Amino acid sequence: MKSLSLTLILTVLFTGFLPAYSQTDDDSYDYALENMLMDHCYSYYKEQGIDIKLIMSRVEDVYIKHHILEDRSGDSYIKLLEKIRQENNVLFDCPGLAEDIQNLAYVPESLFAFDSNRISIDTAMINESKLKELETIGNKLAKSINISPEMVADAILQVYDAQDFEHNFYRYAGLIILSDLYRFDPYSSGIMRELPLLEETNTKERTNDPENLLEVYITHEDKILLDGEHTELSALRSSAKAFILKADQTEINVPLLGNQMTSKAIIRLHNDRGTSYDMYLKVQNELIAAYREIRDMKAREFFNKDFDKLDDQQRNSIERLVPRKISEADPVQ
- The number of angstroms, rounded, from the C-alpha of 74 to the middle of its chain's C-alpha atoms is 23
Q: Is the dihedral of CA 286, 290, 295, 301 positive or negative?
A: positive
Does pLDDT of 325 surpass 50? yes
Helix (H, G, I), strand (E, B) or coil at 243: helix
Task: Show the CA angle centred on residue 233, arms to residues 284 and 190, nearest 5°.
Answer: 60
Q: What letter would DSSP give residue 328?
A: E
Q: Nearest-CA neighbor of 108 among 15, 36, 42?
A: 42
Instruction: Tell me the C-alpha distance between 53 and 321, whole Å.
Output: 27
Please check the confidence at residue 21 and state whether its pLDDT lies above 60: no
Dihedral (Cα; 32, 34, 35, 37), 10-degree rounding:
120
Per the prediction, the chain carries an average pLDDT of: 75
Instruction: Categorize the per-residue pLDDT at 43 as very low, low, confident or very high, splitting at 50, 70 and 90.
Output: confident
DSSP secondary structure code for residue 16 in this structure: T
The DSSP string of 115-169 is -GGG----HHHHHT-STTHHHHHHHHHHT-SSB-HHHHHHHHHTT--TTGGGSHH
Q: Which pLDDT band holds residue 12 (cuts at 50, 70, 90)?
A: very low
pLDDT at residue 102, rounded to an integer: 67
Angle at 154 between CA 31 and CA 69, to 5 degrees: 75
**With contact defined as beta carbons under 8 Å apart, do 316 and 323 qualify?**
no
Q: What mean pLDDT comes out for the span 278-287?
A: 84
What is the pLDDT, as a whole number, of residue 201?
44
